[in-house]
Amino acid sequence: MNTHEQNKKKVVLAYSGGLDTTVIIHWLKANYDYEVIAVCVDVGQGKELDGLEERALNSGASKLYIEHVVEDFVDDYVVPTIKSGAVYEGKYLLGTSMARPIISKRLVDIALEEGAEAICHGATGKGNDQVRFELTIKALAPHLKIIAPWRIWDITSREDALDYCEKHHIPVPMKKNNSYSRDRNIWHVSHEGLDLELPEQEPQFDSLLQMSVTPEKAPDEATYIDLAFDKGVPTALNGETMSCTEILTALNDIGGKNGIGIIDIVENRVVGMKSRGVYETPGGTILYYAHRELEYLCLDKQTLAYKEMMSVKFAELVYSGEWFTPLREGLTAFVDSTQETVTGTVKLKLYKGNIQSAGATSPYSLYNESIASFTTGELYNHKDAEGFINLFGLPLKVRAMMLKSHGLSI
């Protein structure tokens, strides 16, 4: 390596191996004269990692890091979000959103290790990911420069990117096509673009789905499963103790075969526009449902009600990339305190896209048969209800008396 090469400043690139990041490697070297260090963070992309090192080096990167963080992703990001009950706009289970903080954190870690002066990402200027990447970088290493080519360069389409590669003799395995824009990790697969950009059209699920079958193609017999939790954390599936990652992997297979967890949503992006996407989250949907069933059994009324309100804010924070913030950390501390008694087993029935509860048990159950039963027990006196109702309804009675005294009707 010559002196010029040794003295080059470094940039860490969030690298997927796709067309955009392939172009970005050459573009960074041409426009900034950087040494480009490519980093791919494995959060469960599967076969998308095949052949990545050769592709990165052939495109001009000096080296490629492949960081395997699937278990950390599940334990430190997915599980806390499940425990919070966070669902964005009532539908989206935050698959892409949850993954961006851990990806960004590893980019920062490697940038610091390598002495890089900048981090580059390939997120577009219209999407959520630019916000998620950059908020994490600012929170963890505010001195690092951030380069976002899609907000700078003249490339505006896939065709432009392929033309750039041809002009600069960059080898790419990709061809001009009309594929959906997808994001995959161990939690989900998202789909955007093409016909999905028309909300009035039904998605072509048979050609679209990657993890699942449609409910119509699911088995005609129901599938029963048992899920065990300890303090809100999944610990066993069908009586077999497993890691959270193993449970999620198994549930993805079971849920996918039963058509579970397919949603179609027009959501509000961080940057202000609406976008339409289809998400497959088979295992995650089952985990959310089971966890919620156990909370119904184990949490008191006030805690459950407040946690429902909090979960909306938690979802907004995760969706907007605000993971490394005092508020998110504070909400997680609250959630963890609520989970001390969320221990037990939930039985579920899966059938053609539907999930039904088939029973739940917990040593910390707040359900008391002697109170809830129609048969009068020692802990509940029916006569006590009269005084309670009189006091509970007193404001209504006072208001009605006031209106009557003024000749007004309710």
CATH H-level, domain 182-299+342-361: superfamily: Argininosuccinate synthetase, chain A, domain 2 (3.90.1260.10)
Question: Identical fold at 3-69+90-177 and 182-299+342-361?
Answer: no
The CATH number that domain 3-69+90-177 falls under is 3.40.50.620
Q: Given a cut of 90, is residue 4 above it in pLDDT? A: no
**For the chain, how big is the Rg over CA atoms in Å?**
26
Q: Tell me the domain boundaries of the chain.
A: 3-69+90-177, 182-299+342-361, 371-405
Separation CA 55–CA 237 (nearest Å): 39
- The structure tokens listed for 122 are 């390939």
Query: Active-site residue numbers?
Result: 20, 100, 129, 181
Give the predicted TM-score (pTM) of the model.
0.94
At residue 159 the predicted structure's pLDDT band, cuts being 50, 70 and 90, is confident
Q: Which residues are annotated as a binding site?
A: 14-22, 92, 97, 122, 124, 128-129, 132, 181, 190, 267, 279
Task: Tell me what the mean pLDDT of segment 315-342 comes to.
Answer: 98
Task: Tell me what the mean pLDDT of segment 163-183 comes to.
Answer: 82
- Contact of 135 with 322, CB cutoff 8 Å: yes
User: Which residues, listed in sequence order, are joined to residue 263 by a DSSP beta bridge?
Assistant: 279
The closest alpha carbon to 216, from 258, 251, 255, belongs to 258
Q: Which residues are annotated as a binding site for L-citrulline?
A: 92, 97, 128, 132, 181, 190, 267, 279
Task: Tell me what the mean pLDDT of segment 70-95 comes to.
Answer: 98
